[in-house]
Chain A
Amino acid sequence: MKIDKERLAMLKEIMALDFSALELNLYLDTHPRDQRALALHNEYDRKLKELKGIYESKYDFLTHKNISECPWEWIKDPWPWEIDYEMGGK
């Protein structure tokens, strides 16, 4: 399912940032005192929260933990497996 170009770009940006934060999360699990990694993690996390807020108010919920109008907005298509990511990471 095709989605709006601008929306797809923002979703991919969120996915990339989230992945970076997760990679640092795993690294920090076994290096909890690495201050450089920790600072980077926190920087990505701040950016991510901001971007997710914009995406959710503009397009669609990323989690059900949102205040919804009627009808319940969480069920909106497309779901992640249905989205056409147009050549993936490129």
Chain B
Amino acid sequence: MWIYEKKLQFPAWVEGCDLNIAKLLFAQYGGPDSELSAGLRYITQRYNMPIPEAKAILTDIGTEELAHWEIIGTLIYKIVDRATPEEMIKAGMGPHYIQHGRDLYPHDAAGVPWTAAYIQAIEDPITNLHENMAAEQKARTTYEHLINSTKDRGVIETLSFLREREVVHFQRFGEALRLVQEYQERMKHYK
């Protein structure tokens, strides 16, 4: 089960009212390589992992991704909270304002709603873990594109933290992959 802690993983802050980056940040809220995709992918893939290390890493990284989802939500909330409808429309957030107001919604930077088709779980732990390593790299690149698209120091600092997490997760999934391969190798000899 899960329990909510009344704190963020990182003290997310914004300097100004960069509505353009708020619009683009939806890439990580409800896009293909978003924190939402990551969290649901890993938590869904846990069930048939063959070794305890892999079950643990999928559970723990999956949980951390939901904390990152909350950080992205907080950045968007803090920027949009200061904006008028006119400012939102001018910054290209008109469709979002019309359909969702200042609420968040899991769609990507272009307004395309989140879909489970972004993620996979296919039982084979080698295949699943490779998908996860690719997902971490795609998210890292997305963060680099976002960091290049704003001058807001708070947004940059917060996104830099999230970018680093992608690198660490990639590393841990790589280790889990090696451990699963070693396990499969050992099992071959018992057959």
Binding site for B on A (CB under 8 A): 11-12, 14-15, 18-19, 22-23, 25-27, 29-32, 60-65, 79-81, 83-89
| Bound: A25/B4 CA distance, A | 18
- Total A-B Cβ pairs within 8 A: 84
Binding site for A on B (CB under 8 A): 3-13, 53, 56-57, 60-61, 64, 70, 73-74, 77-78, 154, 157-158, 161, 168-169, 172, 175-176, 179
Closest to A85 in B: B11
Q: Are A87 and B10 in contact (CB under 8 A)?
A: no
| Bound: A88/B70 CA distance, A | 15
Q: Are A15 and B8 in contact (CB under 8 A)?
A: yes
**Chain B contacts for A64, CB-based, 8 A:** 3-4
Q: Are A26 and B60 in contact (CB under 8 A)?
A: yes
- Minimum CB–CB distance from A24 to chain B (whole Å) comes to 11
Q: Which of A19, A29, A83 contacts B56 (CB 8 A)?
A: A29
Closest to A56 in B: B6
| Bound: A12/B12 CA distance, A | 11
Q: Which of B4, B157, B168, B172 contacts A89 (CB 8 A)?
A: B157
Indicate whether A30 sits within 8 Å of B176 (C-beta atoms), given known contacts A88-B158, A89-B157: yes
| Bound: A62/B13 CA distance, A | 20
Q: Are A30 and B5 in contact (CB under 8 A)?
A: no
Indicate whether A81 sits within 8 Å of B13 (C-beta atoms), given known contacts A15-B7, A62-B7, A63-B4: no
| Bound: A14/B9 CA distance, A | 10
Indicate whether A60 sits within 8 Å of B53 (C-beta atoms), given known contacts A15-B11, A80-B74, A81-B74: no
